Amino acid sequence: MQLFYNPDISENDNQVIFQKDESRHIVKVLRKTEGDELSITNGTGMLFKAQIIQADIKQCIASISSFESQPAPPYYLHMIVAPTKMNDRYEWFLEKAMEIGVHEITPVICDHSERKTVKLERYQRVLLSAMKQSLHMHFPKLNDPVSFSELMQTEMPGMRLIAHCEDDEKKPYLQNKLKANSTINILIGPEGDFSPNEIKTAMKENWQQISLGESRLRTETAAIAACHTVALINQNS
């Protein structure tokens, strides 16, 4: 199945009109024509089947023939990850997190962050491409970047876990802290780790320390390891 995306359709619609970029991709790149069937999601768990009735590279139109709803996963994963110095490494994290399963992403700017600006529009495109490739029907929420201090003042439900490299005490492994079918917030720092003051602040705000293993991981690797661990715990529940 090849998956297409249109955020504007709902179960009340009888046809879908694609934007120019998606229309061009369908008609010119994939060479779809009138009568061909498309599988479309709106990113909220709905899967639509539709037949092309107008194969135009500027405005492709399809008639919806059926739809079904994919239930939301029983858990909710919010990854809060500092931007990496090399932007392509963060995009790699976004792509793989989307493939594995993530529901919300927040870039966080820390004391040791070398990159303090992000391109959310570019990140959205990376997530969208990965969603279609991996056949997910739920598009994750991508938040604006926040500073570490702003994050500490933000109310959020569920477990709040922070992974850092300080060796001041033995930290439990992530898999031993997780509970299936729950809401989890995982905080991953930049190259150079969190500052001692940030770790101390997080502890005061009741974030729980975790370990992702014995190796020292890059930011994007740590984030993917966390995503995969959460997915496995919930897969086996």
Strands 183-188, 146-147: pairing is unpaired
Same-domain pairing of 152 and 227? yes
pLDDT tens, 22-73?
899 999 999 999 999 999 999 999 999 999 999 999 999 999 999 999 888 8
> Higher model confidence: residue 167 or residue 216?
216
Cα–Cα distances (Å) from 53 to 29, 42, 144, 236, in that order, read 18, 19, 38, 43
Cα–Cα distances (Å) from 45 to 67, 68, 88, 185, in that order, read 10, 9, 28, 22
Enter the pTM of the model.
0.92
In which domain, by residue range, is 109 found?
76-235
Same-domain pairing of 146 and 218? yes
Tell me which H or E stretch contains 88: helix 87-100
Same-domain pairing of 160 and 56? no
Last residue of a domain, one of 18, 49, 69: 69
Cβ(161)–Cβ(77) below 8 Å: no
> Higher model confidence: residue 215 or residue 147?
147
Same-domain pairing of 130 and 208? yes
- Quickly state the pLDDT bin for 168 (edges 50, 70, 90): low
Residue 165, exposed/middle/buried by CB under 10 A (0-12, 13-18, 19+)? Answer: middle
CATH number at residue 207: 3.40.1280.10
Residue 237 has pLDDT above 80, yes or no: no
Same-domain pairing of 147 and 184? yes
Last residue of a domain, one of 31, 47, 69: 69
pLDDT tens, 141-159?
999 999 999 999 999 999 9
CATH number at residue 7: 2.40.240.20
Last residue of a domain, one of 69, 94, 127: 69
